[in-house]
Amino acid sequence: MAGGIRKHGTHRYFLATGGITAVSAATAGAAVAIYDAYALGNSTATGSIGLDQVTEVISEINLTFPVTYTGQATNFNTVSVVQWSATGSVKNQFSIAYSAAGVTSTALTPISFQSVTAAGGQTPPNTGTGTVSVSGSLATALPWVLSTGDQFGILVVSSGTGQAIAAGVSGSFTVQAKGA
């Protein structure tokens, strides 16, 4: 059998930021997962089985607000989905600035990032007039290739004093074998 047993097929990571208060801190909220490329639960590459050689990717990303969230012109938040390297540098990032009243997301309606291209500028479903900016050292469209120790998650950054998101933001990240 190729690869580790736990990596058989597609799997999802579910993340949630928890409630976010209006703060002037740069990072108002975050939820992060660390990608584990080791087979059968080994914690290091020195285990008897070692690294799983199956390359995996993040193939789908969806965000959801538990309550309707509407942007505002000042003191707003930018909501991002991010892939960091094992050393913490940003590899890929999709961001939506909730910087106007027209940028709104309906409660319990997914925001899907599948249509985002490397150039950015698309308006994903459930973002009103919001558009996606794409950044990072790779700045690619999905799928995002994962490497051992990569981290991925949701990041909420404040502008000014920010804007409260009482119920936070949740998201699902679908991970699967490359090419599957």
- Would you state the pLDDT for residue 6? 46
Residue 152 neighbours by CB distance under 10 Å: 24
Helix (H) or strand (E) holding 60: strand 56-64
- Would you state the pLDDT for residue 5? 44
CA angle (15, 50, 174) in 5-degree steps = 25
pLDDT tens digits for range 5-50:
445 568 899 999 988 888 776 788 899 999 876 655 555 544 455 5
Q: Name the residue with higher pLDDT: 55 or 142.
A: 142
Q: Which of 155, 127, 116 is nearest to 30 (CA)?
A: 155
2 pLDDT higher than 50: no
Q: Which of 163, 157, 65 is nearest to 105 (CA)?
A: 65
CB under 8 A, 24+ apart: contacts of 25-29: 25/158, 25/162, 26/157, 26/158, 27/155, 27/156, 27/157, 27/158, 28/77, 28/156, 28/157, 28/158, 28/162, 28/165, 29/154, 29/155, 29/156, 29/165, 29/168, 29/169
Please, what sign has the CA dihedral across residues 114, 118, 123, 129?
A: positive
* Sequence spans of domains, the chain: 5-177
Euclidean distance between CA atoms 122 and 115, whole angstroms: 8
- Would you state the pLDDT for residue 146? 92
pLDDT tens digits for range 86-142:
999 999 999 999 999 999 999 999 999 999 999 999 999 999 999 999 999 999 999
CA contacts within 13 A on the Cβ side of 85: 8
